Structure 1
Amino acid sequence: MIVRVMTQSGNIRSALSVLVLVVLGPAVAWAQQPPIAAGGNGFKVGDGRLHPFFDMELRLDTAVGYFPNNATPDPEDVVETLSPELVLRLRPGLKLDVPSPKVALSASGRLEYVRYTGLLTGQSTYASHFEGAADFTAHFNRDGPVSFVLADQFLRTDQTRNAALGAGVLSLFNELRASIPIKPGGGAIEIVPEVAWGLEFFQPIGLATPVGCEDGVCDPITVDAFDYTNVRAGVEARWRFLPKTAVVLDTDLDLRSYLRATTTSPDALLLRAMAGLAGLVTAKIAVTAKAGWGYNFGASGGSTFIAQLEGTYLYSPTMTFKGGYLRTLNPVASYGLFRDDRGYAEARALFGGKLVLHGYASVDFVGFYDALRPRSDTLLSLDVGPEYQFKPWLVGAAGYLLSTRSSSVTGTGLNFTRHEGYVRLTLVY
């Protein structure tokens, strides 16, 4: 068993991410958390308001990372499975909204300190780290026939969006986007060209190689080989030919390249295009149906049919149900491309103006495009829980999350079940 210390570059990257989050504090948003209630009056900023808030969360997580065995003095004796831990998360942040027909600004976010308490896994405390996010949007000439949107998203999290990698990985992601919404003829036709530039860096949470790992994608120690940059250009178009129904067209081109000279990940030049209909079937049922094709012009090749079918049912003004099927094709480290067939269902209800209940479930069947290393994964996700507004400035929440993953590739990093239960209090002014 091999135990290694994080590289110096990983520590530098951690420090830089903290610095960026501090500097961009007013523009930080935590994408994986529910919206914060407005609460209080905040501070007046021009025509808008700035709301400071603070989250305190205690979470029981059964799969935080790989760590040495507490029962032995040998640092190379690593527990074969992901270790459990009681995790304290502290999240100070700010939320800013400045509505304006000339320049509308929207920004929110937080810096998050993740403290592994060591109560369940004594060796986990050294892996405590900072997370957080930054999300900023500026919309110029919002009500005009031609407007301009500039946005940036910065995210540091242990929930990586890279489908090839296993558990125990921290992701540092940033994407800058610019779009020009065009609405000629009163808005019946809308065309939105967009360009985006993204970067993502990876580093391990624990300091150990998981047991049974026979492929680099399941080893968090070597994940920096998958750091990448991605340039995306696309156009979304919508023609509302009936009052409540529109023809939609989505097309984009991804140019994915990897930053490490030693990486074996093939670059990708992926074109995706879908067309279909979106609108109301009845006063309470909305449907989106799109179909198309994805094709990789890169050296590794690969193409497939892609589609989306989604229905939303407004049971009442305070209760909504949503479900659907999504088939996508995306670039990914190591394999070049992956196809994802996802089925999902979601429900959300508001009771008494203060209690919100939410539930979400999904199953993904993921296939990777590599003839020499065939691989398929199955992922199951569940997220349920209540949120209650005790006061305009105090919100409480609790929840349970389940994540399971099984892969045709061996290794505990790609085959695991993760249970998370949490309680959270949010103070907002």
Structure 2
Amino acid sequence: MTQSGNKRWTLCALVLAMLGPAAAWAQQPPVAAGGNGIKVGDGRLHPFFDVETRLDTAVGYFPEPTTADPNAISPSLSPEIVLRLRPGFKLEVPSSKMALSAAARLEYVRYTGLLTKQSTYGSHLEGAANLTAHFNPEGQVGLILADEFTRSDQTRDPSLGAGVLSLFNEARVSVPIKPGGGALEVTPQLGWGLEFFQPIGLAVPVGCTEGVCDPVAVDAFDYTNLRAAVDARWRFLPKTALVLETDLNLREYLRNSQTPSALLLRAMGGLAGLVSAKISVVAKVGWGYNFGSSGGNTLIAQLEGNYLFSPTMTFKGGYLRTLNPVAAYGLFQDNRGYAEARALLGGKLVLHGYSALDFLTFYDPTQPRSDTVLLLDLGPEYQFKPWLVGAAGYMLTTRSSSVMGAGLNFTRHEAYLRLTLVY
């Protein structure tokens, strides 16, 4: 590992040592709350273990086995059968003085080499954890200390190509203030996050002419993000509220002077609540403005509807328009349409489906770029016993970009079988 790499991982280790375990639990499969668990105060600790086999058609870039040149790289992402092993735990300790919740998992991702021989060198560790301590949760003034950590092949930066491993950590402190009877709630928050990148393989994809599609060069986009936010909610009806969300993000890149820093202010306001016994709506509109040197501003908004078809079946759909800092270009705008459905059948079988279509526009006028990303995720999950859950699923990712390069233009199919043991 290079000296800069050592400094990067050392810095993250110090953050974790100071702030404790944490996790972005997104991208992690849900864990059933079955089993008795281990009693911890008024709460329960639930250890679990996942075993998953996944057919993934786009794990990374590796040498082409059908050519005489051992250094020749496959022109497209390589397929592989992947084994994922995930031990972990979930903890919930309710309390009127300090409510504690925590979760953690360690994941070993083994590329078996059955479909792409050289892929075994890309086997790696992933993981996630979270820790939230809520002091005085029932009082007029509370304090929440939280930290989230994740190491995953799903990065938070949409400008980067495939074949990248991300290590992300964010620490947050927030102060919920509920004067009077609690109809009004104001929550100031301060967060500090950082994200580091490294390639899964050591090969540059065919057609790559820019750093954003080159996994080998992605550590140039490591960044820190300081975020200050204030959220307010006023329930003027029992189940309907006026909401206001504001945040200010200072994004700095650690070693890439070509990426402009961002000082992005976003503010949205609107309504959230029930319009009938079965239909709830979120409607917010606002503006995003970058005070950084690269400039940029636009309308931001969200419109979402939830329909409770029955106590065991729900549907959700909506549109989201956001503005966010991003590597290489400074800012990007995302216009997303999404839909989701969930159903519980017989008390044990859960069916889920999710789809999203994103139109991404990157702001740098010297490097005009637009991407289209389609996501599809569906499958069943069945609880055989309170301590045994089986799941299967299919995920589709299709991405096309105005920037050339296989890492930014691909279709990825993933089919998996998963077994979860939880105590």
Question: Pick from 116, 119, 133: which aligns with 1:121?
Answer: 116
Q: Which amino acid aligns with 2:349?
A: L
Structure 1 residue 259 displacement after superposition: 0.5
Query: 2:229 — aligned with what?
Result: 234
**1:84-138 deviation digits (Å, cap 9, x = unpaired):** 0000000000111111110100011200000000000000001100001011111
Q: Secondary structure at the match of 2:339?
A: strand
Is 1:348 aligned with 2:342?
Answer: yes
Structure 1 residue 378 displacement after superposition: 0.3
Query: 2:157 — aligned with what?
Result: 162
Q: Which amino acid aligns with 2:169?
A: N
Determine if contact 2:99/2:137 at 8 Å carries over to the other structure.
yes
Q: Secondary structure at the match of 1:187?
A: coil
What's the TM-score, normalizing by structure 2? 0.96
Question: Pick from 205, 213, 220: which aligns with 2:208?
Answer: 213
Q: Secondary structure at the match of 1:126?
A: helix
More deviation, 215-224/10-19: 10-19
Question: Pick from 223, 245, 269: which aligns with 1:250?
Answer: 245
**Matched residues in 1 for 2:177 and 2:19: separation?**
30
Q: Which amino acid aligns with 2:261?
A: D
Question: Pick from 246, 265, 268: which aligns with 1:274?
Answer: 268
Query: 1:3 — aligned with what?
Result: none
Structure 1 residue 22 displacement after superposition: 12
Determine if contact 1:25/1:110 at 8 Å carries over to the other structure.
no
**1:282-316 deviation digits (Å, cap 9, x = unpaired):** 00000010000000000000000000000000111
Question: Pick from 385, 396, 401: which aligns with 1:402?
Answer: 396
1:51/1:27 CA distance change after superposition, 3 Å: farther
Structure 1 residue 382 displacement after superposition: 0.2
Q: Which amino acid aligns with 2:244?
A: L
Q: Which amino acid aligns with 1:113?
A: Y
1:57/1:13 CA distance change after superposition, 3 Å: farther
Structure 1 residue 72 displacement after superposition: 3.1
Q: Secondary structure at the match of 2:219?
A: helix
Question: Pick from 136, 139, 152: which aligns with 2:131?
Answer: 136
**1:24-72 deviation digits (Å, cap 9, x = unpaired):** 9986674223431112111111111111110000000000000001123
**Matched residues in 1 for 2:59 and 2:186: separation?**
44
1:27/1:160 CA distance change after superposition, 3 Å: closer
Query: 1:171 — aligned with what?
Result: 166
Q: Secondary structure at the match of 2:119?
A: helix
**Matched residues in 2 for 1:22 and 1:356: separation?**
38
Q: Secondary structure at the match of 1:360?
A: strand
Is 1:47 aligned with 2:37?
Answer: no
Q: Which amino acid aligns with 1:411?
A: G
Gaps of 5+ in 1: 1-5
**Matched residues in 2 for 1:220 and 1:52: separation?**
35
**Matched residues in 1 for 2:239 and 2:129: separation?**
35
Q: Which amino acid aligns with 1:357?
A: L
Alpha-carbon RMSD: 2.1
Structure 1 runs, 4 residues or longer, greater than 6 Å off: 11-26
**1:144-164 deviation digits (Å, cap 9, x = unpaired):** 111111110000000111010
Determine if contact 2:279/2:306 at 8 Å carries over to the other structure.
yes
1:385/1:106 CA distance change after superposition, 3 Å: same
More deviation, 11-20/69-78: 11-20
Superposed counterparts of 1:308-327, under 5 Å: 308-327=302-321
**Matched residues in 1 for 2:130 and 2:21: separation?**
9
More deviation, 90-99/239-248: 239-248
1:369/1:205 CA distance change after superposition, 3 Å: same
Determine if contact 2:21/2:147 at 8 Å carries over to the other structure.
no
Percent identity between matched residues is 76
What's the TM-score, normalizing by structure 1? 0.95
Q: Which amino acid aligns with 1:108?
A: A
1:213/1:164 CA distance change after superposition, 3 Å: same
Q: Which amino acid aligns with 1:141?
A: N
Q: Secondary structure at the match of 2:180?
A: helix
Question: Pick from 61, 64, 84: which aligns with 2:56?
Answer: 61
Query: 2:411 — aligned with what?
Result: 417
Structure 1 residue 165 displacement after superposition: 0.3
Determine if contact 1:329/1:339 at 8 Å carries over to the other structure.
yes
Q: Which amino acid aligns with 1:364?
A: D
Query: 1:71 — aligned with what?
Result: 66
**Matched residues in 2 for 1:21 and 1:193: separation?**
23
Q: Which amino acid aligns with 1:324?
A: G
Structure 1 residue 245 displacement after superposition: 1.5
Query: 2:220 — aligned with what?
Result: 225
Q: How many residues align?
A: 423
Question: Pick from 272, 278, 283: which aligns with 1:284?
Answer: 278
**Matched residues in 1 for 2:193 and 2:36: separation?**
35
Q: Which amino acid aligns with 1:36?
A: V
Q: Secondary structure at the match of 1:331?
A: strand
**1:212-239 deviation digits (Å, cap 9, x = unpaired):** 0111101011000000000000111011
Gaps of 5+ in 2: none
